[in-house]
Amino acid sequence: MAGITLAQAEAQLALWLTASERVSQKQSYSIAGRSLSFADLADINAQIRYWDSEVKKLSRVASGRGRIRYAVSE
């Protein structure tokens, strides 16, 4: 994703991990006949996988391991 920094990706990953923790504690809330449902855990897990892969990719690039180099000897 163009323009996303490693710090931004890490922040997004942290937010989605927090969301997962909160949803795992309570899926919905009801009071006086009204209810509030939290985000679908499957959607949160998909976001966690996405941001985790972005963090790993940006970390490899930052450490200089972002490219695969081949050496051919004769």
Q: CA angle, corner 44, sides to 11 and 38, nearest 5?
A: 110
For residue 23, the model assigns a pLDDT of: 79
What pLDDT does 1 receive? Answer: 45
Q: Is residue 48 domain-resident?
A: yes
* Residue 69 placed within a domain: no
How many independent structural domains does the chain possess? 1
Query: What's the pTM value of the predicted model, to 2 decimals?
Result: 0.67
Domain range holding 41? 6-24+36-62
**pLDDT value at residue 69:** 57
Provide the pLDDT for residue 52. Answer: 96
Write down the H helix ranges in 2-40. 6-25
In a domain, 71, yes or no: no
Q: Is 51 inside a domain boundary?
A: yes
Structure tokens at 26: 């309570």
pLDDT per position as a tens digit, 10-69: 999 998 888 888 778 877 777 778 877 777 788 889 999 999 999 999 999 888 875 555
* Short-list 47, 45, 42, 41, CA closest to 12: 47
Report CA 32 to chain centroid distance, whole Å: 35
